[in-house]
Structure 1
Amino acid sequence: MNQSLNATVACSCSSCNAFRAIDIHAHYYSQEYIDVVKRHGPADGAEWVDLNGTQALRAGPLFTGPIANKFIDLDLRLADMEQSGVTQQILSLTQPMVYWAQAGLADRLSQVFNDSLAQAHEKAPTQLFGFATLPMQFPDLAIAEAKRVAKISGIKGVYLGTAINDTQLSAPLFWPVYQVLEELGLPIFLHPLKVVGMQDRLSQYFLANLLGNPFDTAIAAAHLVFSGVMDAFPNLQVALPHGGGALPFLLGRIAHGWSVRPECASLKRNPREYATRFYYDTITHDPAALAFLIQQVGAERVMLGSDYCFDMGVTSPRTPIETLESLSGGQKDMILSGNANRLLKLEVS
């Protein structure tokens, strides 16, 4: 790594913040996690797949592969970060995660992956941090693991699916988990997994990702708002992926429905007001969409994301922010690093 970037990574003073870029949406598979799925997954319906020498995983309708070495090899990741100007990444597991597994295996997979995050942080303590995985389908185990990871250096939040198998995040069984996460000060970062329609109307043309992912994010956010979760836990921080998915573009329709439909009457405040309770990443793939998101929720609620290193990700994640003419220099700094630094307490020295 060149000297100038080393200096940037090592300094957290305000004068250097403009050079920092904190990627809050960057995926990671540890080989330890993959190995546990390979050995023990078949008993719970998951399998390891060899794709001509490259690993893949399947659990029910969720298939991830090929899992390129960049997902696993931290040295390759650090080299890519330097190339793209990303100074910190927050590593997160994505599909198939652990919700498909029975209690014992789900708990073991979560602990194995979370310990891998701690090891990644030890390898690069100023550059790599982690979002922990919880066995949410078993709330008591999720609470125990949340309390454990809260004491682990480098863990800065938790990563949850936009639904837990077929159960919405608004379900009462998850509320004790939210209470503990609020008490621990661990933000929630959401990501679509088994999205609505993926096995029928969205099964062709990669629509489960192109349309299903943003729709599912909006569904999850709406459940958290209308169910009262966001009111019951006012200090719980929740971040939405892919620029909030469809949510920012549907706020007007949702607000109108709230004003006229009895099904929405339990919500006492306009749902538009809840848009700024969430954080959002920058992965919109369109400058106009990113500008609209910022206009809707404010630059102070938006954070850099790349979706590393999927083909649906952004290889140069700084560029959409740095080239958006409607943003001031201060707003660009907030989105590149300031907001994530504040939310996740990522002071580095």
Structure 2
Amino acid sequence: MKTIAIEEHFLCAEVRAAWAAAASAGQDTSASLHLGEMQDRLEELSEERLARMDESGVDVQVLSLTSPGLHHLAAAEAVSLARRTNDLIAATIARHPERFDGFATIPTTAPAEAVRELERCVLELGMKGGMLFGRTMEKNLDHADFWPIFEMAAHLRVPLFIHPQTPPRAVREAYYSGFDPQVDLAFATFGLGWHYDCGIQFVRLALAGVFDRFPDLQIILGHWGEVVLFYAERLKAFSRVTKLQRPVVDTMRENLYVTPSGMFSQSNFQHAVEVVGIDRVLFSTDYPYQYRPGGGPRNFLAQLPVSDDDKAKIAHANWERLTGSMRR
């Protein structure tokens, strides 16, 4: 059965250098998570990556720049880096067109250029959507500056993936500090902070009326919905105070896709299906962060307590349907 993994990351030396130069701003503390062996795996886009894909049973990786993307770089630098990074993705796909696809890298600190770059990536480079990382500097994702990006994605009929990034410094200090530096970093990132921060960005989009304005816009969240799926019952209560055209939970069922990001939990899978439905579950391994030898991705799909037809939906068919109507 064909498997398409949609949250599979890479990093290039130019972006890594730009992050290092901007590190003094303190916007994102996660760069140290990409060092050593992890850095090598992120930057390798050829035979070693293909071999690990084969070992895991992954036929296609949809490549995306890793967190925090270009969201905290100066506008001119972000625009230039976005074009070069997207050209690198396109060149990688051209070398192995049966094995790779891509999400556009979006320079959100330059919103007008971000719109043009998303359009270029889809119409000229054939990418299947865009990768966002929540906040840009101090602006949440629902800020009016970014609505043209949502409008373009809806027009192109491509999804936007919202990936976690590290919470703001004030939040880290208030909630994720007080231990040794390594524990603080883990707590603020993969331990918990990333996922609350990302889920909040999606809820903000809904509360701001983004999906009322762009009812066909499709969003993807990793890690089984970045916490918010587990609060679907509580999110229903927003209907008492909002004037949205649809309840937030209905938006989740009509505008949201979720993917495991290598968290191969059957209980999380079953809850996701209860909230958004089997047709809105996609497959991903969160390479290279969750990579473990032994064929875990293949085994997870094989062991799901659903029909072969539903396994095929998760493995590839839902993604192919989602991206099958994109403008070309």
Common fold by TM > 0.5: yes
Task: State how far apart, in whole Å, the 2-side matches of 1:143 and 1:238 are.
Answer: 16
Cα 1:339/1:254, change in 2 over 3 Å: same
The alignment status of 1:192 with 2:169, answered yes or no, reads: no
Percent identity over the alignment is 28
- After superposing the two structures, state which structure 1 stretch, 70-79 or 193-202, moved more: 193-202
Partner Cα distance (2:88, 2:164) in 1: 22
User: Which residue does 2:268 correspond to in 1?
Assistant: 289
Task: Count matched residues.
Answer: 309
Aligned residue among 254, 269, 274 for 2:251: 274
Gaps of at least 5 residues in structure 2 are none
Task: Please give the secondary structure, in 2, of the residue aligned with 1:68.
Answer: helix
1:59 positional shift: 6.6
Deviations 1:62-108 (A, max 9, x none): 32421432222221111111111111110001123112211211111
| Alignment-mate amino acid for residue 45 of structure 1 | A
After superposition, the C-alpha distances for 1:5-25 in whole angstroms (9 at most, x for unaligned) are xxxxxxxxxxxxxx1000001
Describe the superposition over 1:153-192 as per-residue Cα deviations: whole angstroms up to 9, x where unpaired.
Answer: 3411100012223211111111112112221223101101
Provide the residue aligned with 1:162 in structure 2: 134
**Which residue number in structure 2 is paired with residue 113 of structure 1?**
85
Give the match's secondary structure for 2:296.
coil
Ranked by relative contact order (alpha carbons within 8 Å, sequence separation 6 or more), the top structure is 2
Q: Which amino acid aligns with 2:6?
A: I
Q: Distance in 1 between matches of 2:130 and 2:302?
A: 28
Cα deviation, residue 26, structure 1: 0.4
Q: What TM-score, normalized by structure 1, do the two folds share?
A: 0.82
Partner Cα distance (1:344, 1:127) in 2 = 16
Q: Which runs of 5+ in 1 are unaligned?
A: 1-18, 48-57
- Cα distance change on mapping 1:226 and 1:109 into 2, 3 Å: same
- 39, 55, 59: which one aligns with 1:68: 39
Out of 60-69 and 165-174, give the one that drifted further: 60-69
Q: Counterpart of 1:82 in 2: which secondary structure?
A: helix
Between structures 1 and 2, the one with greater strand share: 1
Residue of structure 2 equivalent to 1:149: 121
Q: CA deviation at 1:41?
A: 5.7
1:90 counterpart SS class: strand
Q: Which residue of 314, 317, 340 corresponds with 2:297?
A: 317
Q: Which residue of 1 aligns with 2:4?
A: 22
What is the aligned partner in structure 2 of residue 302 from structure 1?
281
What's the counterpart of residue 5 of structure 1?
none
TM-score normalised per structure 2: 0.87
Kept in 2, the 8 Å contact 1:45–1:60? The answer is: no
Q: Secondary structure at the match of 1:129?
A: strand
Corresponding position: 1:202 with 2:162: no
Q: Distance in 2 between matches of 1:71 and 1:250?
A: 33
SS at match of 1:318: helix
CA-CA distance at 1:312 after TM superposition = 7.8
Contact 2:232/2:275 (CA < 8 Å) preserved in 1?
no
CA distance in 2, matches of 1:36, 1:252: 40
Match for residue 126 of structure 1 among 65, 90, 98: 98
